[in-house]
A = this chain, B = another copy of it.
Amino acid sequence: MDIDAVNALPYEDFVDVFGNVVEKCPIVAAAVWSTRPFASLNALEAAVSEFIDALPESGKEGILRCHPDLAGRDLQRGTLTRESRGEQAQAGLDALEPAEMSRMARLNGEYKERFGFPFVICARMCDKANILQQLSERCRNERAAERARGVEEVKKIGRLRLQGLVLTGSPDKL
């Protein structure tokens, strides 16, 4: 799909295609449609990023809270979004050893208890060992720093989903 095709989409189709670029937040795609036409894929990525930056801090935390735990309840129940399922599988999170699984659950719990939002990381850029290490380290951050870090990870995830959708027609095939 070239950028002219993206710009020609009515909002309903645009939200159908890009509604999960930010996990469970179709409002983001629905909002950036207001700023079309986009000069390029980069401009569309920038529009998503700028919309997130313009949210109040509670809204940024809201975006984080729309994300599932890594190797958590939704993965076990099969209720992940298609995008998250692919990303968690790519990082090997759907095939953890029992010891890794319980370490992940414990650290996810500590993280959520401390910050009031889940640990978000661009899993496609990591493997499971790296994710566990970063989760353990980031548990020790300050809340504001960690909120900002989570938002940067949301943007990385969104960028990859967007590139996948525009360049290959699939959010996880790049």
Tell me if A's interface is mostly helix, strand, loop or mixed.
helix
Residues of B within 8 A of A64 (CB): 30
Known A-B contacts A56-B51, A58-B51; A30 and B116 likewise in contact (beta carbons under 8 Å): no
- Rounded to whole Å, the gap between the CB of A35 and the closest CB of chain B is 6
- Rounded to whole Å, the gap between the CB of A118 and the closest CB of chain B is 8
Q: State in angstroms the CA–CA spacing of A34 and B61 once bound together.
A: 8
Segment of A21-29, A89-97, A120-128, A131-139 in the binding face: A21-29
Residues of B within 8 A of A26 (CB): 24-25, 62, 66
Tell me how many chains of this kind the complex includes: 2
Asked if A5 CB lies within 8 Å of chain B CBs, one says no
Q: Is the CB of B117 within 8 A of A11?
A: yes
A-side residues, CB < 8 A to B, are 10-12, 15, 24-35, 51, 54-59, 61-66, 112, 116-117
The 17 sampled A-B contact pairs (Cβ below 8 Å) are A11-B117, A15-B65, A15-B66, A26-B62, A27-B62, A28-B62, A29-B62, A30-B64, A30-B65, A30-B66, A31-B55, A32-B58, A32-B62, A33-B65, A35-B58, A51-B56, A51-B59
Additional 6 contacts, C-beta under 8 A, given A27-B27, A30-B61: A11-B65, A15-B66, A27-B62, A29-B62, A34-B116, A55-B59
